[in-house]
């Protein structure tokens, strides 16, 4: 009875291929977050430099910013399952190399930096490929359910991974965490080998890469839902989703708390995101509406402004949980909007643009948030980030309404 109810609420789990993929992700993503936490700790312990720690983030996300659009062309040209197996093996080897360097005692900051660049290069291809691959695992009517379940497991891993890292690093150091992450890719690779997809229809490549990129951008521009989702993701992704800077500085400068306050706020954000993801995963039917896209984008931006005057840890934790809820609501709505409104021919390029808007702008957003907070203080910097995003969302809504009204007049 419970299993039947679960499948009714989350219909994507009734799809055999999706179950193989999803259960593999349940294991692998915990390892990924363990490595991310261990990598930051390792670099800071080697250098004691916030600047070099920031450079590590730029090295890891820089390739996404520079190469996402090119990755989209590759995704549209080659079988997605084969690409994901390649990226997962590459990520596994990267983790094992890090573990061996730490265990050998020869690890240096520059070793880690070079491996972070390689990690960013692989993720540039891996992230949009995995996003587009979901459409081959479930029927279109269950796509929102699948996206929501993926977001749910991502946020569970975001809570469990760092917590496990803190315990294991205190006792064993960073090396075992990189090794565990490498091992965690094995279930994913096995699951992918069991997945049966339709034969990939190869087409003779006749166009240059830049031509195909421009075609993809033109395709997005001509589609109101795709254009709205990309622009909204650019606004929120650049100015709101800087939690790696916002949360620790808010805890330290506004609440005057140490690592315990930071951990509580991070957990609250993850818990809110998890609840939002489960809710979205249960909305299996129908296409996502632009009102939900814009409403959630404006809500998460506005809430970031509201948090500035709050100096109570309990109230701040509740508000960050609500921020996490609307944040995941926006992310999954934007993702579903892009997936559902894309044709198979352009899907790889469309999702590569989404990856750029979501992850590729991280270096720019981190630089903006960090510089503003350093000059004006954490509270004022957070308020400005929320205000800029809110203003941009309002302008996007106005532009969408005007274009829709102009289009209707032209039809008449």
Task: In whole angstroms, give the CA distance from residue 103 to residue 27.
Answer: 24
pLDDT on residue 347: 86
Which pTM does this prediction carry?
0.80
Helical (H) or strand (E) element with 98: helix 80-104
Q: 328 or 163, which is more confident?
A: 328
Confidence at 98, pLDDT banded by 50, 70, 90: very high
Give the DSSP per-residue string, 382-412: HHHHHHHHHHHHHHHHHHHHHHHHHHHHHH-
Q: How far apart are CA 214 and CA 197, in angstroms?
A: 29
pLDDT at residue 371 above 60?
Answer: yes
pLDDT of residue 259: 60
Among residues 85, 83, 87, 81, the alpha carbon closest in space to that of 196 is found at 81
CB atoms within 10 A of CB 86: 15
- The predicted pLDDT at position 219 comes to 93
Q: CB atoms < 10 A from the CB of 318, how many? A: 14
State the Cα–Cα distance between residues 14 and 7, nearest whole angstrom: 6
Q: What is the pLDDT of residue 393?
A: 94
Going from the N-terminus, what domains does the chain have, and what CATH number goes with each? 1-196 (1.20.1250.20), 205-412 (1.20.1250.20)
Q: Is the pLDDT of residue 204 over 60?
A: no
Q: What is the pLDDT at residue 312?
A: 87
pLDDT greater than 70 at residue 54: no
Residues 25-41 have a mean pLDDT of: 86
């Amino acid at each position: 009875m419970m299993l039947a109810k679960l499948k009714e609420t989350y219909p994507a789990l009734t799809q055999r291929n999706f179950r193989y993929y999803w259960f593999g992700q349940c294991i692998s993503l915990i390892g990924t977050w363990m490595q991310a936490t261990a990598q930051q700790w390792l670099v800071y312990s080697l250098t004691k430099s916030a600047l070099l720690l920031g450079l590590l983030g730029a090295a890891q996300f820089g390739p996404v910013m520079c190469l996402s659009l090119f990755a989209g062309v590759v995704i549209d040209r080659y079988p997605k399952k084969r690409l994901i197996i390649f990226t997962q093996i590459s990520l596994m080897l990267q983790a094992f190399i890090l573990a061996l360097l730490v265990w050998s005692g020869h690890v240096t900051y520059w070793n880690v930096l070079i491996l972070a660049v390689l990690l960013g290069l692989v993720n540039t291809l891996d992230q949009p490929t995995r996003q587009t691959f979901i459409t081959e695992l479930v029927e279109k009517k269950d796509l929102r359910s699948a996206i929501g379940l993926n977001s749910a497991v991502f946020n569970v891993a975001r809570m469990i991974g760092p917590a496990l890292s803190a315990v294991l690093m205190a006792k064993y150091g960073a090396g075992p965490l990189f090794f565990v992450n490498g091992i965690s890719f094995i279930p994913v690779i096995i699951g992918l080998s069991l997945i049966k997809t339709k034969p990939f229809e190869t087409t003779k490549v006749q166009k240059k890469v830049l031509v195909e990129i421009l075609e993809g951008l033109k395709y997005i521009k001509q589609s109101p839902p795709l254009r709205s989702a990309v622009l909204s993701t650019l606004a929120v992704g650049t100015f709101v989703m800087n939690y790696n800077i916002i949360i620790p500085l808010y805890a330290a400068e506004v609440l005057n708390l140490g690592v315990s306050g930071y951990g509580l706020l991070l957990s609250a954000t993850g818990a809110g995101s998890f609840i939002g993801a489960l809710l979205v995963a249960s909305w299996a039917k129908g296409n996502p509406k632009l009102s939900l896209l814009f409403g959630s984008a404006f809500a998460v931006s506005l809430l970031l402004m509201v948090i500035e005057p709050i100096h109570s840890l309990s109230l701040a934790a509740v508000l960050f949980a609500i921020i996490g809820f609307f944040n995941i609501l926006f992310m999954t709505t934007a993702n579903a909007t892009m997936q559902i409104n894309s044709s198979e021919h352009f899907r790889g390029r469309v999702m590569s643009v989404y990856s750029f808007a979501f992850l590729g702008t991280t270096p720019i957003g981190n630089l903006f948030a960090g510089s503003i907070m350093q000059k004006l203080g954490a509270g004022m910097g957070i308020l400005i980030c929320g205000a800029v995003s809110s203003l941009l969302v309002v302008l996007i809504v106005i532009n969408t309404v005007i274009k829709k009204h102009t289009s209707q007049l032209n039809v008449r």
